Amino acid sequence: MKSPFFLILIITLIIASIGILSIYSSTYQKEGKLWQVIYQRQIFWVILGLALFLIMSNFNYRRLWDLTFFLYALALFLLILVFVLGIIRLGAQRWLRLGWFNFQPSELTKLVMVIFLARYFSRQSVDSFSMLVNNSGISRSLILPFIFTAIPMVLIMEQPDLGSAATILFILIAMLYLCGVRLRYIIITLLVGILSLPILWHFLRDYQKERLTVFLNPNIDPLGAGYTIIQAKIAIGSGGLFGKGWLSGTQSQLHFLPESHTDFIFATFAEEWGFLGSVALLLLYYFLIRQGIAISQRTSDHFGKSLALGISVMLGIQIFINIAMNMGLAPVVGLPLPLMSYGGSSILVTFISLGILANIDKTRNVF
Amino acid sequence: MRIKILSFILASILLLLILGILNLNVFQGSKYRGLSKKNYVRLLPQIGARGRILDRNNNIIADNKLCYDVMILPRETSEADKVLMNISRILGRDFGELKDIFKKGYIAPFAPIAIAQNIDVAEAIALEELKFGLSGIVIQPRPVRRYPYGSLACHALGYLSEIDRWRLTKLEDYGYKTKDIVGFGGVEEKYDYYLRQEEGGLSVEVDHRGKLMSVLALRPPQSGKDIELTLDLKAQQIVEQNLVDRNGSVIIMDPYTGEIIAMASFPNFNPAVFVDKSKFSIGNLFDNSEAPFINRAITGVYPAGSVFKLIVAAAGLETGKINTVKTFLCPGSTKIGNMEFACWDTHGPQNLFAAITHSCNVFFYRSGLLIGAQAIHDYALKFGLSKPTGINLPYEASGFVPSPLWKRIYRFKNWFDGDTANLSIGQGDLLVTPIQMIRMTAVFANRGSLVTPYIIKAIDGQDISLAQQKSLNLHFNLSTIDYIRQAMRNAVQGLGGTAHVLSIPDVSVAGKTGTVQVPRGQPHAWFVGFFPYKKPRFVICVFLEHGGSGQASCLLAKQIIEIMVKEGLI
Q: pLDDT by residue (tens digit) across A161-192? A: 888 988 998 898 888 888 877 788 888 878 88
**CB within 8 Å of A52: residues ≥ 6 apart:** A348, A351, A352, A355
B27 in a structural domain: no
In this structure, what DSSP letter does residue B164 have?
Answer: P
Pick the last residue of a domain from B229, B251, B285.
B229
Q: Looking at the structure, tell me whether residues B197 and B261 fall in a common domain.
A: no
Choosing from B202, B229, B256, the residue where a domain stops is: B229
How far apart CA A335 and CA A357 sit, in angstroms, is 22
Chain A residues in contact with B76 (beta carbon < 8 A): none
Cα of A115 vs its chain's centroid, Å: 14
Judged by CB atoms closer than 8 Å, whether chains meet at A270 and B207 is answered as no
Residues of A in contact with B13 (CB under 8 A): 316, 320
Residue B41 falls inside a structural domain = no
A146–B contact, CB cutoff 8 A: no
* In a shared domain, residues B427 and B453: yes
Contact check, Cβ <8 Å, A178/B22 = no
Question: Chain A: residue nearest B28 by CA?
Answer: A237
A324 and B17 within 8 Å at the Cβ level: the answer is: yes
Chain A residue with minimal CA distance to B210? A254
When divided into structural domains, chain B yields a total of 2
Domain of residue B86, residue span: 48-229
The predicted pLDDT at position A135 comes to 56
Say whether both B481 and B402 belong to one domain. Answer: yes
Residues B347 and B374 in one domain: yes
- Does the CB of A31 have a partner CB in chain B at under 8 Å? no
Q: Is B207 on the interface with A (CB under 8 A)?
A: yes
Same domain, B196 and B333: no
Q: In terms of domains, do B345 and B474 share one?
A: yes
| B14–A286 C-beta distance less than 8 A | yes
Q: Kindly indicate the confidence band of residue A2, based on its pLDDT and cuts at 50, 70 and 90.
A: low
Residue of B nearest to A279 (CA): B18
CB contact under 8 A, B3 and A233: no
CB contact under 8 A, A293 and B6: yes
Do B189 and B201 have their domain in common? yes
- CA of A256 vs chain B CAs: smallest distance (Å): 5
Q: Mean pLDDT over all residues of chain A?
A: 85
ipTM: 0.89
Chain B residues touching A283 at Cβ < 8 A? 14
CATH number of the domain within which B449 lies: 3.40.710.10
Closest among B368, B159, B391, B383 to B263, alpha carbons compared? B391
Give me the residues of B, 107-166, that contact A with CB < 8 A.
Answer: none
Sign of the alpha-carbon dihedral angle for B385, B388, B391, B393: positive
A216-229 as b/e: b if 16+ CB within 10 A = eebeeeeeebbbbb
Same domain, B545 and B524: yes
Indicate whether B246 and B144 sit together in one domain.
no
In chain A, where are the structural domains located? 4-366
Do B351 and B203 lie in one domain? The reply is no
Does B116 fall in a domain? yes
Would you say residue B26 lies in a domain?
Answer: no
- Does the residue B499 lie in any domain? yes
Contacts B25 to A, Cβ<8 Å: 236-237, 239-241, 270, 274-275, 278
Residue A130: pLDDT over 70: no
Asked whether residue B95 falls in the same domain as residue B178, the answer is yes
- Answer with the one of B229, B254, B283 that is the final residue of a domain: B229
Q: Structure pTM?
A: 0.65
B192 with B300, same domain: the answer is no
Residue B261 lies in a domain: yes
Minimal Cβ distance to A323: which of B10, B17, B29: B17
Mutate to test the interface with B, among A219, A248, A254, A257 (most CBs of B within 10 A): A254
Beta-carbon contacts of residue B530 (< 8 Å; ≥ 6 apart): B255, B441, B442, B444, B445, B488, B509, B510, B511, B536, B538, B539, B540
CB contact under 8 A, B2 and A180: yes
One pLDDT digit (tens) per residue for chain B, 570 residues: 788 888 899 999 999 999 999 988 888 888 888 888 887 877 777 778 899 999 999 999 999 888 888 888 776 677 778 888 888 888 888 888 888 888 887 766 666 777 887 787 888 888 877 776 677 787 878 888 889 998 899 999 999 988 888 888 888 888 888 778 889 999 999 999 899 888 777 777 777 766 777 777 788 888 889 999 999 999 999 999 999 888 999 999 999 999 999 999 989 998 988 887 665 667 777 778 888 899 999 999 999 999 999 999 999 999 999 998 999 999 989 999 888 999 988 999 999 999 999 999 999 999 999 999 999 999 999 999 999 999 999 999 999 999 999 999 999 999 999 999 999 999 989 999 999 999 999 999 999 999 999 999 999 888 887 777 788 899 999 999 999 999 999 999 988 889 999 988 889 999 999 999 888 889 999 999 999 999 999 999 999 999 888 889 999 999 999 999 998 887
For residue A260, the model assigns a pLDDT of 85
